[in-house]
């Protein structure tokens, strides 16, 4: 972390030089000596063995002419052989060692070469326990007919299925030749062909340079529907039509983002709807966002998630944090851009309600966090970056940008953000580099709007600054009034004026319930509004947490069904956490988990087992 004196130097023009790129505490790679510029994959998909097998050929740029070692990140990969490939195309075996396995970071693969060869080829296969791959049996899919496999490379799981420099500070282009069982479609974060024959032989090109965490693959029984001139939806056949209707506004979202922040630079924006075991809401894999089916509510009320993943096409995919300690550069900017897209497409009321709910929930989350966990610029050395994710880089990061917007005005701040995305396009940067650009292009031309102490407080101090801009929704005033009357006993549950409420109004209402509502209150709400069993995942998980706190055990069968069916961590971990607070609840949770765990992604299993102490 940097002191306010350092920030002041950045903001007021003191000459600073960056001698070395900031090292990534979550990678063994040494990109200052040699970096990967291109990846060529030859992979076979074996569902029986639950493995990817083949070769990865890495093109290299040697920055240190004296270097003779290439260090790659791996986790649970079986290395079969390695070749060094000369400029003349001739190959010869290369010596290598594989370090002992670290439980978080895996094993460094150290390859020794006789000269600065332009390429190396590694023959290998993944293992069934690869943390970045989920292998699903036919019974775990919608049709029950075909198996399914998908990847999740963020944060440091790409190394579990490809040997590479698994750090966002290194960007590379890639090609892939993938063979799979016929009748299954293979898709990647690359140039997918919606009309490709299901012949089991697929080739891909990704011409834009990406960091490793955006490397993605999925194989399964997938249908496709075009939703616009540069958009399509891939999903299991029983879901694809419904998903296409839900996401039919995607082209409007792209146009809204382009009007604010410049051209979309990834050619196409397609969406892959994964099985419900996907551990996240979405993953911004370029050209092919991975999305959870839990956002398909039937009324477009949860498509803000698509706006978020699309926003990553500017913040994250285009301008990337150099390592996870600067995650707010990815997620804070993206959450800010998401809200601006939602405002442009669905109106200011909806966007403001989103802000109010997220601000409230961030403050609530931070009450249970250590001060160091509340910082935008974090120290994650020795910590699994998956454990470093919280609402802080997302919502506090967005709040910081809203603060800057409030001081400078949108007429100044919007062009600044656009120029920022243009300037750092296809680069990986740190907070330091953002501040240098901010100093030169926003602070200096508009001196006196924001002090160095204020910047330092947002980035390097816990909590939310007292002068943070507050969002207020008049529609929520009516919700709060109804909630207060219901809790006071002066308004019956059936008389709450909620027939026309949208999702955010229900979230606001549930969030205003006391820490421990009474079982009678929950029963009355349930009888009037049928919240138990709702198909809206955002409402459901908040409601189920409230039922556990209230001791409203009538909801338990629906809770069990919900967390057995869904593997999205955001939706189920809070329920497990609340159940685990009592012995009876923990026994119930463990029983449900034993039934559900076979369908969970490895990341979800790890999170649940940590909560339950298993």
Per-residue pLDDT at 267 exceeds 50:
yes
Mean pLDDT over the full length of the chain: 94
Residue 427 marked ligand-binding? no
Domains of the chain: 4-15+315-460 (1.10.390.10), 29-128+150-214 (2.60.40.1730), 222-313 (3.30.2010.30), 475-612 (1.25.40.320)
DSSP conformation letters of 99-137: PPPBTTTBEEEEEE-SS--SEEEEEEEE-TT-TTEEEE-
Q: Is 154 annotated as a binding residue?
A: yes
* Residue 5 confidence (pLDDT) above 50: no
Residue 207 has pLDDT above 60, yes or no: yes
For residue range 11-23, list pLDDT tens digits in order. Answer: 323 222 333 468 9
Catalytic (active-site) positions? 309, 394
On whether 89 is known to bind a ligand per the annotation, the reply is no
Whose tokens are 């997918």? That residue is 192
pLDDT at 15: 28
Estimate the crossing angle of helix 410-423 against helix 397-408, to 10 degrees.
Answer: 130
Provide mean pLDDT across the span 415-421: 98
For residue 10, what pLDDT is reported? 31
Q: Does the annotation flag 569 for ligand binding? A: yes
386-393 average pLDDT score = 89
Q: Concatenated DSSP letters for 540-565?
A: HHHHHHHHHHHT-GGGHHHHHHHHHH
For position 73, what pLDDT does the model report? 98
pLDDT tens for 331-372 read: 999 999 999 999 999 999 999 999 999 999 999 999 999 999
Please indicate if the annotation marks 253 as binding a ligand.
no
Average pLDDT of the segment spanning 543-549: 98
Q: What is the pLDDT of residue 14?
A: 28
| Lowest-confidence pick of 177-186, 454-463, 597-606 | 597-606
User: Facing residues of 39 across strands?
Assistant: 58, 174
Q: Indicate if the alpha-carbon torsion angle 253, 257, 259, 265 is positive or negative.
A: negative
Q: What is the pLDDT of residue 320?
A: 98
- Amino acid 458: pLDDT: 98
* pLDDT of 6 strictly over 60: no
| 382 neighbors 465 (Cβ within 8 angstroms) | no
CA atoms of 331 and 313, how far apart (whole Å): 12
541 marked as part of a ligand binding site = no
Instruction: Say how far apart CA 112 and CA 97 lie, in whole Å.
Output: 9
Mean pLDDT value of segment 561-579:
96
- Residue 220 pLDDT level (bands cut at 50, 70, 90): very high
pLDDT of amino acid 387: 82
Q: Quick one: what percent of the chain has pLDDT higher than 90?
A: 92
Question: Is 443 annotated as a binding-site member?
Answer: no
Q: Is the dihedral of CA 522, 524, 527, 528 positive or negative?
A: negative
- Any binding-site annotation on 570? yes
pLDDT in tens, 121-174: 999 999 999 999 999 999 889 889 999 999 999 999 999 999 999 999 999 999
Model pLDDT for residues 274-308, shown as the tens digit of each residue: 999 999 999 999 999 999 999 999 999 999 999 99
3-state DSSP percent of the chain in helix, strand and coil, to 5: 40, 20, 35
Q: pTM (2 decimals)?
A: 0.93
Has residue 9 got a pLDDT over 50?
no
Cα 443 to Cα 173: distance, rounded to the nearest angstrom: 35
pLDDT attached to residue 11? 31
Tell me if 63 sits within 8 A of 33, measured CB to CB: yes
Cβ pair 590, 613 in contact under 8 A:
no
Output the pLDDT for position 12: 28
Q: Is 284 annotated as a binding residue?
A: yes
The reply, when asked if residue 521 is annotated as ligand binding, is no
pLDDT at residue number 388? 77
Q: Which residues touch 540 (CB under 8 Å, ≥6 apart)? A: 531, 534, 562, 571
Predicted pLDDT of residue 20:
40
283 is in an annotated binding site: yes
| % of the chain beyond a pLDDT of 70 | 97
User: Distance between CA atoms of 443 and 450, rounded to whole angstroms?
Assistant: 7
Q: Tell me what the mean pLDDT of segment 575-589 comes to.
A: 97
pLDDT of residue 612: 97
Q: Which residue has the higher pLDDT, 417 or 1?
A: 417
- Cβ atoms of 86 and 118 within 8 Å: the answer is yes
Average pLDDT over every residue of 570-583: 97
């Amino acid at each position: 972390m940097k002191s306010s004196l350092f920030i002041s130097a950045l903001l007021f023009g003191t000459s600073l030089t960056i001698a070395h790129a900031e090292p990534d505490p979550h990678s063994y790679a040494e990109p200052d000596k040699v970096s990967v510029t291109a990846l060529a994959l030859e992979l076979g998909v074996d569902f029986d063995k639950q493995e990817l097998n083949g070769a990865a050929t890495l093109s290299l740029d040697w920055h240190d002419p004296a270097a003779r070692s290439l260090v790659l990140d791996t986790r649970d990969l079986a290395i079969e052989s390695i070749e060094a490939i000369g400029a003349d195309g001739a190959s010869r075996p290369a010596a290598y060692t594989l370090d002992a396995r670290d439980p978080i970071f895996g094993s460094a693969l150290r390859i020794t070469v006789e000269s600065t060869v332009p390429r190396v080829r590694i023959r290998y296969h993944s293992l069934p326990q690869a943390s970045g791959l989920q292998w699903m049996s036919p019974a775990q899919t919608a049709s029950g007919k075909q198996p399914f496999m998908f990847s999740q490379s963020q944060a440091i799981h790409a190394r579990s299925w490809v040997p590479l420099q698994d750090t966002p500070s290194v960007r590379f282009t890639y090609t892939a030749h993938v063979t799979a069982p016929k009748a299954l479609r293979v898709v990647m974060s690359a140039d997918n062909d919606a009309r490709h024959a299901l012949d089991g032989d697929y080739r891909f090109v990704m011409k834009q340079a990406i960091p490793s965490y955006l490397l993605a693959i999925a194989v399964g029984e997938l249908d496709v529907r075009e939703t616009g001139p540069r958009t399509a939806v891939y999903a299991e056949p029983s879901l694809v039509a419904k998903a296409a209707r839900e996401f039919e506004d995607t082209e409007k979202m792209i146009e809204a983002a382009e009007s604010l922040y410049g051209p979309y630079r990834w050619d196409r924006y397609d969406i892959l709807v994964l099985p419900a075991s996907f551990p996240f809401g979405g993953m911004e894999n370029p050209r092919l966002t991975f999305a959870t089916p839990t956002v398909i509510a039937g009324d477009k009320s949860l498509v803000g998630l698509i706006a978020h993943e699309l926003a990553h096409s500017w913040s994250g995919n285009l301008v990337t944090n150099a390592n996870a300690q600067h995650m707010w550069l990815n997620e804070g900017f993206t959450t800010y851009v998401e809200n601006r897209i939602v405002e442009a497409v669905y109106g200011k009321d909806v966007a403001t309600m989103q802000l109010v709910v997220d601000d409230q929930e961030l403050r609530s989350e931070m009450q249970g966090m250590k001060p160091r966990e509340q910082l935008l610029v974090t120290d994650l050395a020795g910590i699994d970056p998956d454990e470093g994710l919280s609402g802080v880089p997302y919502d506090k990061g967005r709040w910081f940008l809203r603060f800057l917007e409030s001081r400078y005005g949108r007429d100044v701040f919007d062009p600044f953000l656009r120029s920022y995305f243009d300037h750092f396009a296809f680069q990986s940067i740190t907070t330091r580099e953002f501040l240098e650009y901010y100093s030169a292009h926003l602070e200096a031309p508009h001196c006196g709007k924001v002090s160095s102490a204020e910047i330092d407080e947002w980035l390097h101090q816990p909590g939310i600054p007292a002068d943070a801009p507050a969002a207020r929704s008049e529609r929520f005033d009516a919700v709060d009034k109804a909630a207060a009357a219901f809790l006071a006993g002066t308004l019956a549950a059936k008389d709450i004026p909620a027939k026309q409420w949208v999702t955010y109004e229900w979230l606001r209402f549930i969030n205003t319930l006391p820490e421990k509502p009474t079982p009678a209150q929950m029963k009355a709400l349930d009888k009037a509004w049928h919240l138990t069993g709702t198909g809206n995942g955002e409402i459901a998980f908040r409601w189920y947490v409230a039922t556990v706190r209230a001791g409203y055990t009538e909801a338990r069968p629906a809770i069990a069904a919900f967390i057995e069916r869904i593997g999205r961590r955001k939706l189920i971990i809070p329920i497990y956490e609340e159940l685990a607070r009592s012995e009876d609840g923990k026994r119930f949770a463990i029983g449900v988990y034993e039934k559900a765990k076979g369908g969970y992604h490895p990341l979800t299993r790890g999170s649940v087992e940590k909560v339950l102490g298993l």
